[in-house]
Amino acid sequence: MNARHVPSDDWSGLLKKEEEALITILKEKALVRCKLAQKEYYECVKGRTLSIAWACRESGKKLNECLHEETSEEKLNEAKRKWIKAGKPRVGTENGERIPVTFM
């Protein structure tokens, strides 16, 4: 392997805090994309206690599947590639305001 050529899945230069920021962004985007499933689950569990386990099983399963799909390892690797390709732009907050995520 050439020292100048880094495989696309080699994240050794990625700091832990950078990866954590990307995971947080993925989770935020997943909640937006799964809003319908989230609302359906919320409507089901509203006013229930023990019956949530069987009454809301299907809507809970749909929500979990959606969230897992949107936060998969594949999606994380894609976000890492895009972020590195964009020149590792700054993510997080500045003066209490969210820095917009433009690379995704």
Domain-embedded: residue 97: no
Does residue 98 form part of some domain? no
Q: Is position 103 within any domain?
A: no
| Residue 101 located in a structural domain | no
**Could you tell me if residue 22 is inside a domain?**
yes
Number of domains comprising the chain: 1
In tens, the pLDDT along 79-103 reads 888 888 888 877 766 666 666 677 7
Torsion 48-54-55-59 (CA) sign: positive
Please state the length of the chain. Answer: 104
Q: What is the pLDDT of residues 43-57, one digit of tens each?
A: 999 999 999 999 999
Q: Structural domain of residue 29, as residue ranges? A: 16-86
Sign, CA dihedral 80-29-53-59, equals negative
